[in-house]
Amino acid sequence: MIKHTLRAAGRVTSPGLRCFSGTPGGEIIEDVFERAGSTHLTQQASLYVHWPYCLRRCSYCNFNKYIPRSNNNHIMTECLQQETETLLQLSQVSCITSVFFGGGTPSLAQPSTISAVLETVSRHANLSDKAEVTLEVNPTPVGMSKLEDFCHAGVNRFSIGVQSLQDEDLKILGRDHSSHQALQTIEEARRLCPGRVSVDVMFGRPKQSVESWEKELSDLLRVCDDHVSLYQLTLERGTQLFKQVQSSEMTVPADDVTAEMYQCARRSLHQHGFQQYEVSNFARHNAVSEHNMSYWKGRQYIGVGPGAHGRFVPLGEGSVIREARTQTLEPDVWILEVQQRGHGTRRRIHLSHLDFLEEALVMGMRMTEGITHKHWQLFCPQLSLNEVFGMSIDVQEFLQSEQLILDDRGLRCSWDGLALLDSMLPSLLLELETQILQRPQSDHQADAQTEKTIHPR
């Protein structure tokens, strides 16, 4: 089952993908693209680049990050370039539509690293001057002082990890900046990239109330630019915060309180001219994140760097099957692998037709526009949205209670339904699986194959 919640929407968790041997899955995917006249889907991809280092560990975070023991900027740069080159050649994509430098703390990297990676991309694929190039920034004085150089290196969008505007809360979260520094960084980023600055904020934090959240959000909306990501704090097993809550040293708001926080934030953002376009993302003046949209629309993406993941067809080795790839997590091991074989791919899994549709469903339903008939037809020409979901009793209930909408535009959540998406997904996935597996064997051969993980070469 695919793990998705209202939390870090940009976090593309690895679905519990079933893996298959042989080629039928690929034939199906190729068929889908061929029949839909969209072979360009295998010629384009977005690129995610992971910088795995942070100055310290925030108390709530379980992303793939490490405290650096020494300065290895030079080796990291070489390896990121090498892996970018290898995976671009493997995918044979001719166009990279967006680049996202995430982490960890990529604002700790040198601007020269960013430009070196972008130059490598441009040597092997078309990277338009207009393509969105985002860098995540921790709003520390060091991060802020490098923003201009990052722009010269090719970055044209900043995503700033503000998290909170309360200094006391920033301390509890273990952040390495103050709210004043966050405000200064937003101002500087807006000066450099007007209209292309995003802020990440978390709610459901220890000691937070709906009233304090409303006040904090209204302060933020006075200074922020045109994009806001709101993440519900998730207590991740193994983190310091998780232990503090387990031992009752710290408490977090109850579920009904965080649900109220989410709804009040949605209303408030709406009043300030922001359109919600995804569970956690809001934009005005059309400043949607193209990179994240490519995930939600089920497009190809390549993941470079320790722990990065990707979804693409490795055409370069003659394959026609979309794969889910994950790079080695630990930076020192990843570096050795890249030096030895040009990439640090740890896991490759063939995506069957059903896996592919499950991902398209889970990701697509996160968008307020949902899944249009045209979008679905591209991935599943043999069964329409009405054929898959129209007969399901559960889906009928969601439609009647107006949590879901299925009309001539497609399938999507209503305003209320979007907050309940996680509770609807199991029924939607079950219905999809039932309908696909009921098709004649030739239509879903891939789903009947033996499970197999491919060993990276």
Residues lying near ligand SAM in the complex (CB under 6 A): 7-8, 10-12, 48, 50, 60-61, 63, 102-103, 105, 134, 136, 138, 159, 161, 163, 198, 200, 202, 229, 231, 233-234, 236, 289, 292, 301, 303, 307-309
Smallest distance, ligand SF4 to C-beta of residue 63, A: 5
- Side-chain half-sphere exposure of 383, counting CA atoms within 13 A: 21
The entry of ligand SAM, ligand SF4, none near residue 8 (CB within 5 to 8 angstroms by kind) is: ligand SAM
Question: Should residue 11 be labelled a site residue for ligand SF4 when binding is judged by CB under 6 A?
Answer: no
Smallest distance, ligand SAM to C-beta of residue 399, A: 31
| Distance separating alpha carbons of residues 349 and 17, to the nearest angstrom | 8
Instruction: Looking at residues 145 to 184 of the shown chain, list those that interact with ligand SF4 (rule: CB under 6 A).
Output: 161
Question: Do residues 285 and 232 lie in contact, with contact meaning Cβ atoms separated by under 8 Å?
Answer: no
Question: Do residues 44 and 297 lie in contact, with contact meaning Cβ atoms separated by under 8 Å?
Answer: no
User: Closest residue (Cβ) to ligand SAM?
Assistant: 161
Farthest-apart Cα atoms in the chain, separation: 62
| Distance separating alpha carbons of residues 179 and 186, to the nearest angstrom | 11
Count of residues touching ligand SF4 (by CB under 6 A): 11
| Distance separating alpha carbons of residues 281 and 261, to the nearest angstrom | 15
Our measurement of the distance from residue 74's CA atom to the centroid of its chain's CA atoms, rounded to an integer in Å, reads 27
When the beta carbons of 62 and 382 are compared against ligand SAM, the nearer one is: 62
Window 391-430: contact mask with ligand SF4 (x via CB under 6 A): ----------------------------------------
Question: Should residue 138 be labelled a site residue for ligand SF4 when binding is judged by CB under 6 A?
Answer: yes
Among 29, 54, 153, 425, the residue binding ligand SF4 under the rule CB under 6 A is 54
Window 95-114: contact mask with ligand SF4 (x via CB under 6 A): --------xxx---------
Runs of H (alpha helix) within 111-207: 111-124, 141-145, 147-153, 167-173, 179-192
3 state DSSP class of 308: coil
Instruction: Supply 377's token pair.
Output: 């037809």
Smallest distance, ligand SAM to C-beta of residue 384, A: 30
Smallest distance, ligand SF4 to C-beta of residue 167, A: 16
Enumerate residues 6+ apart whose C-beta is below 8 A from 336: none
3 state DSSP class of 75: helix
Cα separations in angstroms, 171 against 8, 60, 69, 218, 277: 20, 12, 24, 21, 31
Q: Would you say how long the chain is, in residues?
A: 457
The entry of ligand SAM, ligand SF4, none near residue 86 (CB within 5 to 8 angstroms by kind) is: none
Q: Which stretch binds ligand SF4 (CB under 6 A): 55-63, 71-79, 80-88, 223-231?
A: 55-63
The entry of ligand SAM, ligand SF4, none near residue 7 (CB within 5 to 8 angstroms by kind) is: ligand SAM
Strands of the sheet containing 410-413, edge to edge, are 371-372, 410-413, 404-406
When the beta carbons of 114 and 162 are compared against ligand SF4, the nearer one is: 162
When the beta carbons of 49 and 127 are compared against ligand SF4, the nearer one is: 49
Binding residues vs ligand SF4 (CB under 6 A): 54, 57-58, 61, 63, 65, 103-105, 138, 161
